[in-house]
Amino acid sequence: MVNSKESAKTKLKESGKKIDKETMSFLKTRLGEKDYQKLIRIDNPKLHRFISKYIELCNPDEVFICTDSPEDIQYIRQAAIKNGEEKELAIAGHTIHFDGYYDQARDKKNTKFLLPMGVDLGSHINRIDREEGLKEIHTILKNIMQGHEMYVGFFCLGPINSEFSTLAVQLTDSSYVAHNENLLYRPGYEEFRRLGDSDQFFKFVHSQGELEGGVSKNIDKRRIYIDIQEEIVYSVNTQYGGNTIGLKKLAMRLAINRASKEGWLTEHMFIIGVHGPKDRVTYLTGAFPSLCGKTSTAMIEGETIVGDDIAYLRKKSEKIHAVNVEKGMFGIIQGVNSVDDPVLWKAFHSPGEIIFSNVLVTEDKGVYWIDKDGEIPERGFNHSGEWIPGKKDAEGNEITPSHRNARFTLNLKLLENMDPRIDDPHGVVVGGIIYGGRDSDTWVPVEESFNWVHGIITKGASLESETTAATIGKEGVRKFNPMSNLDFLSIFIGRYIEDNLNFGITLKNPPPIFSVNYFLKASDGNFMNDKTDKRVWLRWMELRSYKEVEAIETPSGLIPRYGDLKRLFKEVLGKDYPEEDYIKQFTVRIPENLAKIDRITKIYETSVPDAPKILFKVLKEQRQRLEKARRKYGDYISPNEFSSKKEE
């Protein structure tokens, strides 16, 4: 007698074979022979079914399967030129792309998680019922690629052949998006061939939708939906990279959820190599919200860059190791100039594959962006069309030469300061972690936490910053942004903080945690520091990673001694550093620090029901230290008032 379980297994297996046969028959019909052969060289029925499903739903005129070959990657680039998504510029390899005038930033309102009924991940999560969201997005996707070509790309997040490696497949009808991803991410076709029959890969479906004048027409139906259950992201009726380059912040949301389950971290962090004494290189990671100095720090003169935006962190042999998820940079171009950004400046003026997005194109096919060296051009072409100074939009707003969120995309290999360990499959050992934001009146320029828990809570979980042009909405509003990751969390905030606390608390000697603030202002409204001063803060942090310089203990953390900074300013920048400047910059501002604790405590009490109890304990202890210091010294305390030894 046949076992009923075995019979069921046999029927299921036969059913699976039938489905796979139908899938392959469909793909053979819709793909040309060459592209069909490229796809079936990946022996993964789950992947085949996914691609087949969305070819049938989106109904493109053609489908191009992109392997890792130079010919396929060149095809994508040429397609972007041919269909007008990009135009060639004067310098060889440089191209320009324009998004629609009202499609220039991440769309927070319409970026939603698809969650089953009854599942709540916290008030910070913009959600929609999963079944409702899937029905809506699939309705929008129906035949959306008619008249378009679909590009299927395979990528690896993190170094190839590494425990950090995460595979991803992108379906898009935008050659601009596909071109960006070829520059930004490591090739994954061969990795998929090695993967076997596994569904452990991220999936992305994007369509520009109907185009008018070369840009997405139906932005009222712009949707970015994230399904963490199936690890799929849908993005429609949008072209802006932050909404469409699936492997960037959209993949980050999937990775945060996966990392939380598996015991590692996905962080909104750069990774740089800071060069210390005797040719020592110490790797620091740093989390900053947009337009807060993140890219300029990652590109700091004299140091080397591993990555500028997203890092995966894992523990190995009592150390934290980090890798750059990407191999390229999708950066904000506003403010880049020859003095502060010499490496980027040189790349922007040399032959090489670079995509400029939403900058001004001049008559000689050059580019201009806000705060670039030189005079503002008298005319040109930008995201609004033909442009002259003083031009206004339909709402009466003056249109800047380039958009404030204008971008550039390049492979890091174009940069002279690329760190040689960028593709190390083991990652780099983290020597310190930095949190920074826009703060005109509270945090000192650089400060070290007392320990891992104190740093995660008072530096990371308490991070605030002013809003910028990188997101839709009003600028200049102070926003709570724990670890600079709030927009990308796919888990409860409390759970995310617990993950960070637990990640380092088990290590015997976790790396130090620092805060930096490049935006501290004097009473006259001017910034207290020059842009280049961050080079000194980084060198001080590198020395503190090995405890090679002492620090002064204040109620909120450990700050540099004047003598050490004076020496570093001379060594690193070749300039004097008056003690008067040191005192102004490193004065402990008691009222502002207490107000910050009040704000942060209230947020966690009212909006984060799963906030760990230790958070309130650490903030309370910091308040008590600040109040004790105020009773002794007053509201504003010179760093000279504090001893280098802990007060009894």
Write out pLDDT tens, residues 579-629: 999 999 999 999 999 999 999 999 999 999 999 999 999 999 999 999 999
Model-level pTM?
A: 0.92
Mean pLDDT, range 111-121, rounded to an integer: 90
Residue 559 phi/psi, 5-degree rounding, is: -115, 160
Which residues does residue 465 pair with via DSSP β-bridges, in sequence order?
479
Flag the least confident range among 16-30, 265-279, 311-325, 448-462: 16-30
CB of 402 within 8 A of CB of 370? yes
**Active-site entry in 58, 66, 156, 292:** 292
Exposure string for 519-538, b = 16+ CB within 10 A, e = fewer: bbeeeeeeebbeeebbbbbb
pLDDT at 373 > cutoff 90 = yes
What is each CA distance from 436 to 375, 514, 515, 516, in whole angstroms? 32, 9, 6, 5
Give, to the nearest 10 degrees, the angle between helix 175-184 and helix 70-82: 140
Structure tokens at 463: 């991070």
* Rounded CA separation 127/132 (Å): 11
Mean pLDDT, range 329-342, rounded to an integer: 90
Give, to the nearest 10 degrees, the angle between helix 249-262 and helix 493-505: 60
pLDDT at 2: 47
pLDDT at 15: 45
66 catalytic? Reply is no
pLDDT at 143: 98
What is each CA distance from 129 to 226, 314, 541, in whole angstroms? 11, 33, 46
Residue range 422-453, pLDDT digits in tens: 999 999 999 999 999 999 899 999 999 999 99
- Sorting pLDDT into bands at 50, 70 and 90, what band is 12? very low
Task: Tell me the DSSP string of 252-315.
Answer: HHHHHHHHHHHT-EEES-EEEEEE-GGG-EEEEEEE--TTSSHHHHHT-TTSEEEESS-EEEEE
* Rounded CA separation 377/364 (Å): 11
What is each CA distance from 601 to 125, 564, 596, in whole angstroms? 20, 34, 8
pLDDT at 647 > cutoff 70 = no
Full set of structural domains in the chain with CATH: 18-262 (3.40.449.10), 265-327+422-641 (3.90.228.20), 330-414 (2.170.8.10)
- Sorting pLDDT into bands at 50, 70 and 90, what band is 644? very low
What is each CA distance from 307 to 243, 294, 417, 551, in whole angstroms? 21, 11, 11, 29
- Sorting pLDDT into bands at 50, 70 and 90, what band is 241? very high
Return the number of other C-beta atoms located less than 10 Å from residue 346's C-beta.
Answer: 13
Structure tokens at 74: 């060149």
pLDDT at 626: 98
CB of 528 within 8 A of CB of 519? no
pLDDT at 11 > cutoff 50 = no
357: helix, strand or coil: strand
Structure tokens at 474: 């009003």
501: helix, strand or coil: helix
pLDDT at 298 > cutoff 90 = yes
pLDDT at 292: 83
Structure tokens at 94: 């440089």
DSSP 520: -
pLDDT at 5 > cutoff 50 = yes
Mean pLDDT, range 194-212, rounded to an integer: 94
Quickly tell me which residue has 């479906």 as its tokens: 205
CB of 61 within 8 A of CB of 146? yes
Mean pLDDT, range 250-262, rounded to an integer: 96
Exposure string for 400-411, b = 16+ CB within 10 A, e = fewer: bbbbbbbbbbbb
Indicate the average pLDDT of the chain.
93
Flag the least confident range among 148-162, 477-491, 540-554, 557-571: 477-491
Return the number of other C-beta atoms located less than 10 Å from residue 596's C-beta.
Answer: 23
